[in-house]
Structure formats: structure tokens, C-alpha cells
Structure 1
Amino acid sequence: MNKPVLSASLCIALFLAAPGFAFAQPAPDPSAPGSSASITQLNSEDRGFLTKAAESGYMEIAGGKLALKKSRNAQVKQFAQKMIDEHTRLGEQIQALVKKKGYETPTQPSLVQAAKLKALELRDDGFDEAYGDEIGVAAHEDAIELFEEAAGHATDNDLKRFAADTLPLLKRHLDMARALRKAIKDPAS
């Protein structure tokens, strides 16, 4: 897919996703979990980490499901299933942590991530390579950076520990993604 078509696809995906965010949201219940009264124990950086970590996981899961549907490569499908399984478990850990902290996270990828997934879904030629690059390698590089920042700088000790404990898994995923990308680009090796 050429760059103008990919750019147009991203713009269309963002345009289609945006109307849902234009509707007014109901006023928050101050006694409900996730209200400003109950999330004062987390600063904005810690809440931002939880939000981005949840969105990242949902992108990995959605990307994996897309790969299972579109790919014909057994290695890609095996990697995708592993990402679905492990990011689902990781998402459950994040949800348990946010519940404990009285905070709520998104239940889907961010708008930008959703647009990337939509563009990936529109690919036929080169899907496996794009999946390996964008969902496998780039997304895990971003996640590692996010989790390293939280492991070093989160003010909440539970979050700091969770981020540090999760880093080895994310680094293994990145190594697997790089190996997959290499196998896709050079099947003879």
C-alpha cells in the first residue's frame, strides 16, 4: 500500500472514530470508584501510565486477532496467539491494580492506535511484515519505554513494582517480534 493511500486510510479511520467522542459525558458520581475523590492517591503521571499501559495491551490483543484472521504464515499466527494470551493476562493484572487504586482505564486502544489497526486491516500485500514491524516491534519498543519510565519514576509503589516486574515479559516479546520480523523479511534464514 503506498503512503498516500495509507495516510488517507489513517485520516478516514480517525474521522470515523471521532464522532463517538463528541457526545457529552454524564457527570461523574463523586462516590464511585474512579471519581476524583477516590483517585487522589494516584498522581497524573501514574494515572497516565495506567491508561497508556491498558491501551497498549488492547492494541496488542486487537492486532493479534487481526493477524489470526489475515495471516497465512504459521509463525505470525503463533506469535499473534501468544500476544493475545499474554496481553490478556497482563490486562487482567492492570485491571486488578486499577480497581485497587479506585481508577478506571480505557477498554480499547487509543484513537491513534485504532487508526493504525484499521490501516493494518486494510493491507493485503505485506500484512505480515507490517504486523511484525508495527504491532510486534514498534509497539513493544513503546511499551518498554513506558514501563521503564514507570518502573523508575512512578510515585505509587504498587505501580512501580508492577512496571518493573512486567519489563522482562515485554523485553521477551520484543525479542520474539524482532526474530519474527527477520523471519518474515528473509524466510530463507
Structure 2
Amino acid sequence: MKTKSMSLGLLMALLVTGATFAQQNSGSMSSGTATMVGKETKAEFDSQNKKGAAAVSAVAATPAKLSSADQNLMLEVAKGGMMQLEVSRVAVQKASSPEVRQFAQAEVDEQTGLSAKLQEIASAKGVILPSEPDAETQAIITKMQGASGSALDKMYMDESGVKGHEKLDKVMSTVVSTASDASLKGIGKAAHPLVKTHLKVAKQIEMKM
């Protein structure tokens, strides 16, 4: 009887352990689903962001003076980057969707690195970059601060995720094809692939809304 009782106890323990494992496995599958950003896993998305950040960081800041055309291009890159950075900071704090917050945080990280590199290059060349958002960016920030929930999420993905990246895509294309300065052209080549990735992912997220 004692052996039978021990066997029954062992069987019950195995069943409980199996049930706990199944619950943990199920939870991990659910959390895996929750870490999608667009159509990519968060790990894949993070990997591309790290690769882009490393490429931007590796660009050398040369002291050669910029032509007026190149200086205008640098100011366009800085202006577009600041818009993305400031609007994304609001989204990190206020977005209701975890996916949108993940996208916004990746954008903050990207633009913080790009801004630092641009400032390094500008300082080497004696160029002064804008230190505050322009009126258009401030207007978007004000609209976002007055919104909440899914309305804010959609506004951010539309204004920054899609429209903002479409503008940056065009600017970076111009930098890559027409800039004569090595540092500026290097910024274009390093940052453009990630701009394209973020635009693609932004459209995928917006399609879900």
C-alpha cells in the first residue's frame, strides 16, 4: 500500500510539473507574439537598429569646410532628425500600444546617435545646427500632447513613422547622390538603410491600426 501511495504521489507531482511547464511555455509563446514590431521580431528589429547605430558612429568627422549646398543638406538632415527625436520622445511617454512605444524608443535611440554625430561633424567644420524644434515640429508635439490612446498612436505613426521617414528618405537619398563632403556623404550612406527600415516597419504597424 505504501509503494502504491508513493507511486500515486509521484504521478501527481509529474502531472503538476507538466502543467506548470505547459503554462510557462504558453506564456513565453504569448510574450513572443507581443514582441513583434511590424512584421519583424523585436530581436530582429533591435539588431538592425544596432547595426545602423554602429555605422553612423563610425563616420569620421573631417575639418574640411562645407559648400553652401552641403551645408543646406546638413541642416535638412538635422531638422528632420530633430523632428523625429522630439515627437518620438512624446510617443515613448504617451503611446498606449507597446508596439508603438517600442518603435518610438528605437527612433529616439537612432536620432540621438545621429544628432550626436551630426554635432560632432558640424563642430569640426564650424557649422551651427538648430538647437530647438521648428514651428512645424512644435505644432505636432502640441497636437500629440493633447491626444491619448489609439488616436495618439495613429497620429504618431502617421506624422513621424510614415511622413517623417518619407521626408528623411528623400533627404538621405539626396545626400548620398549629391553631397561632395566625405563626412556628410558618410552620414547619408550610414543612416539611410535604417531610415528605410523604419519607414517599412512604420507602414506595417500603421496597417494593423
Normalised by the size of structure 1, how large is the TM-score?
A: 0.71
Asked if the contact 2:83/2:133 (under 8 Å) is kept, the reply is yes
Shift of the alpha carbon at 1:69?
2.0
C-alpha separation between the residues in 2 aligned to 1:66 and 1:120?
7
Of Structure 1 and Structure 2, the greater helix share is in 2
Task: Give the letter for the 1:71 counterpart.
Answer: A
CA distances 1:83-138 after superposition (whole Å, capped 9, x unpaired): 11111011111111111211110122222222222223222361111110111110
Relative distance call for 1:116 and 1:45 in structure 2 (3 A) is: farther
Greater CA radius of gyration, 1 or 2?
Answer: 2
| 1:127-166 alignment runs, 5 A limit | 127-166=152-191
User: Please, which runs of 5 or more residues in structure 2 have no aligned partner?
Assistant: 1-62
- 1:157 deviation in Å? 2.5
Looking at structure 1, the residues matched to 67 and 134 of structure 2 have their Cα atoms a distance apart, in angstroms, of: 21
Give the paired residue count.
Answer: 146
Cα distance in 2 for residues equivalent to 1:154 and 1:45: 8
- Contact kept, 8 Å, 2:169 with 2:192, in 1: the verdict is yes
For residue 177 of structure 1, give the secondary structure of its aligned residue in structure 2. helix
- Contact kept, 8 Å, 1:147 with 1:163, in 2: the verdict is yes
- Percent of aligned pairs with the same residue? 28
Q: Does 1:179 align with 2:204?
A: yes
SS of 1:41 mapped into structure 2: coil
Name the TM-score, length of structure 2 as normaliser. 0.65
Tell me the C-alpha RMSD between the 2 structures.
1.8
Higher relative contact order, structure no. (Cα contacts within 8 Å, ≥ 6 residues apart)? 2
Measured in 2, the distance between the counterparts of 1:170 and 1:59 equals: 14
List gaps (5 residues or longer) in structure 1: 1-38
Match of 1:64 in 2: 88
CA-CA distance at 1:147 after TM superposition: 0.9
1:94 is aligned, of 99, 115, 118, to 118
Residue 49 of structure 2: aligned partner: none
